[in-house]
């Protein structure tokens, strides 16, 4: 079987990580030839290269980036687009895939450069929320790409309903498969990890994570910390880990946004309570030592960071109507509070701060749920089954 995968990038972010974990599993478990086209590169590039033949259409750094810095914005942008079709054609010149698998709606944009005459079977794995689809692709959304796509995989029930209702996709063309994470554990004593991270043993640690953006809402994270401070005299800290740079097309927008969040922290007098740590090579140390994970996102399809924290037995607090995470948390792996209700979020954080028994109980439930639903051993066969079924239906 020959499979062509398309990814928006090779960064250490949700959708690329889900794809990489699947490809590494696929390479071990099935006889397949793997080809991958990336819109952009990223720090996971070498691991992707180990799974199959790769092509990167654009580099975030390099000669084109240099031209931009020298001010040739009016001349250079058309160059990658002009050569994109040629680069894809050369990459696939001796290769005819049995199926094309686009990992995100954004990566489906290049289907028109691949499907010119041969009607290849196509699966589109949608990781984006509706607002993200609108922001990335405009008012028409992915309507122009629907004619190419035979099967959709969504990451949560709420997103299946969304694409069915908003984009008039028949339900039988949609498979819902929850995302997976890699198994990671920590055998180091808690006090040793906290010492390494310079976090005092008596501090109650609330963790947030993600690339700072409107979707992830770090400013809500900050305001919630201020509300918690009004409710308790206990020593606590809110720590956010995650890159300051937005990957892909919007990578140049975040520095200003990030500075605005830091401005709020300073003006609110929260510098001792809230800290943004930036990118961490080993975020799992923070999952191991935090007391709970607070997902402050306005909109987040199904964030892997919550699953990773839950895999360490940490309860999760999130907002309802914000994406797929309430489907995981339910009423027994943390708390789902009303949308953007900062007061309710602060109340629940303080409740868990004062009740270690409840914290442990909710954390164990989430840990068990991750084990049952969110490892590649469970999701990998489901994704591969969808691939086989789509090929059969298209070729029969």
- Are 158 and 46 part of one and the same domain? yes
pLDDT digits (tens, 9 = 90+) for 201-243: 899 999 999 888 888 999 999 999 999 999 999 999 999 998 7
Share of the chain above pLDDT 90, in %: 55
pLDDT at 154: 94
- Are 299 and 379 part of one and the same domain? no
- Are 157 and 212 part of one and the same domain? no
Q: What is the mean pLDDT of residues 252-272?
A: 79
pLDDT at 133: 79
Phi, psi of 100 (to 5 degrees): -110, 130
| Range with lowest mean pLDDT among 252-256, 262-266, 386-390 | 252-256
Greatest CA span in the chain, whole angstroms? 68
pLDDT digits (tens, 9 = 90+) for 302-360: 999 999 999 999 999 999 999 999 999 999 999 999 999 999 999 999 999 999 999 99
**CA 235-332-308 angle, 5° bins:** 65
Does residue 88 form part of some domain? yes
Provide the 3-class DSSP secondary structure of residue 4: strand
Does residue 332 form part of some domain? yes
Which residue in the block uniquely carries the two structure tokens 């990578």? 251
- Are 362 and 384 part of one and the same domain? no
pLDDT at 69: 33
- Are 379 and 344 part of one and the same domain? no
Q: pTM of this prediction? A: 0.87
pLDDT at 248: 46
Choice between 200 and 206, residue whose per-residue pLDDT is larger: 206
pLDDT digits (tens, 9 = 90+) for 54-111: 999 887 654 333 333 333 333 344 445 667 778 888 888 888 899 999 998 888 888 8
pLDDT digits (tens, 9 = 90+) for 9-20: 898 888 999 999
Does residue 185 form part of some domain? no
pLDDT band (50, 70, 90) for residue 139: low
Contacts of 290 (CB under 8 A, 6+ apart): 205, 206, 207, 239, 309, 314
Residue 36 β-bridge partners = 5, 54
CA 66 → CA 45, 62, 80, 348, 389, distances in Å?
A: 21, 6, 14, 49, 45
pLDDT at 293: 98
pLDDT at 308: 95
Does residue 45 form part of some domain? yes
pLDDT at 60: 67
The yes-or-no verdict on residue 247 having pLDDT over 50 is: no
- Are 290 and 146 part of one and the same domain? no
Does residue 85 form part of some domain? yes
pLDDT at 81: 60
Question: Rounded to whole angstroms, how far apart are CA atoms 16 and 54?
Answer: 14
Choice between 66 and 25, residue whose per-residue pLDDT is larger: 25
Mean pLDDT computed over every residue of the chain: 86
- Are 242 and 286 part of one and the same domain? yes
- Are 59 and 142 part of one and the same domain? yes
The number of folded domains in the chain is 2
Domain that holds residue 341: 190-373
- Are 383 and 273 part of one and the same domain? no
- Are 298 and 388 part of one and the same domain? no
Question: Rounded to whole angstroms, how far apart are CA atoms 217 and 210?
Answer: 9
- Are 281 and 145 part of one and the same domain? no
Does residue 87 form part of some domain? yes
- Are 14 and 76 part of one and the same domain? yes
pLDDT at 364: 97
Q: What is the mean pLDDT of residues 170-187?
A: 89
Does residue 287 form part of some domain? yes
Choice between 357 and 136, residue whose per-residue pLDDT is larger: 357
**CA 72-77-79 angle, 5° bins:** 105
pLDDT at 358: 97
Domain with 172 in it: what CATH number?
A: 3.40.50.2000
Question: Rounded to whole angstroms, how far apart are CA atoms 144 and 79?
Answer: 23
């Amino acid at each position: 079987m020959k499979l062509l995968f398309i990814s928006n990038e090779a960064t250490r972010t949700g959708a690329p990580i889900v794809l990489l974990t699947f490809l590494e599993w696929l390479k071990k478990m099935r006889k397949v030839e793997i080809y991958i086209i990336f819109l952009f590169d990223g720090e996971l590039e070498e691991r992707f290269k180990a799974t199959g033949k790769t092509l990167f259409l654009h580099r975030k750094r390099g000669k084109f980036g240099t031209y931009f810095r020298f001010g040739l914005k009016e001349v250079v942008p058309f160059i990658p687009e002009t050569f994109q079709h040629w680069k894809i054609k050369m990459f696939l010149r001796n290769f005819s895939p049995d199926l094309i698998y686009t990992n995100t709606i954004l990566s489906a944009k290049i289907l028109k450069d691949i499907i010119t005459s041969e009607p290849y079977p196509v699966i589109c794995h949608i990781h984006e929320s509706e607002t993200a689809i609108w922001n990335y692709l405009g008012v028409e959304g992915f309507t122009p790409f629907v004619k190419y796509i035979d099967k959709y995989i969504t990451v949560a029930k709420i997103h299946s309903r969304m694409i069915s209702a908003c984009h008039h996709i028949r339900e039988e063309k949609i498979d819902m498969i929850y995302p997976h994470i890699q198994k990671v554990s920590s055998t180091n004593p808690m006090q040793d990890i906290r010492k390494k991270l310079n976090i005092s043993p008596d501090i109650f640690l609330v963790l947030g994570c993600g690339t700072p953006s409107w979707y992830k809402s770090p400013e809500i994270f900050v305001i919630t910390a201020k509300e918690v401070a009004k409710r308790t005299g206990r020593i606590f800290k809110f720590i956010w880990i995650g890159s300051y740079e937005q990957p892909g097309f919007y990578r140049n927008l975040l520095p200003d946004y990030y500075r605005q969040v830091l401005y709020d922290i300073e003006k609110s007098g929260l510098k001792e309570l809230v800290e943004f740590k930036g990118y961490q090579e080993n975020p799992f140390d923070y999952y191991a030592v935090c007391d709970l994970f607070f997902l402050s996102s306005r909109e987040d399809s199904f964030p892997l960071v919550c699953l990773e924290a839950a895999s360490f037995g940490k309860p999760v607090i999130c907002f309802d109507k914000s994406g797929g995470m309430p489907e995981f948390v339910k009423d027994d792996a943390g708390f789902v509070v009303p949308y953007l209700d900062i007061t309710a979020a602060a109340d629940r954080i303080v409740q868990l701060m004062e009740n270690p028994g409840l914290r442990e109980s909710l954390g164990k439930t989430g840990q068990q749920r991750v084990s049952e639903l969110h490892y590649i051993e469970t999701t990998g066969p489901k994704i591969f089954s969808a691939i086989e079924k789509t090929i059969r239906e298209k070729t029969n």
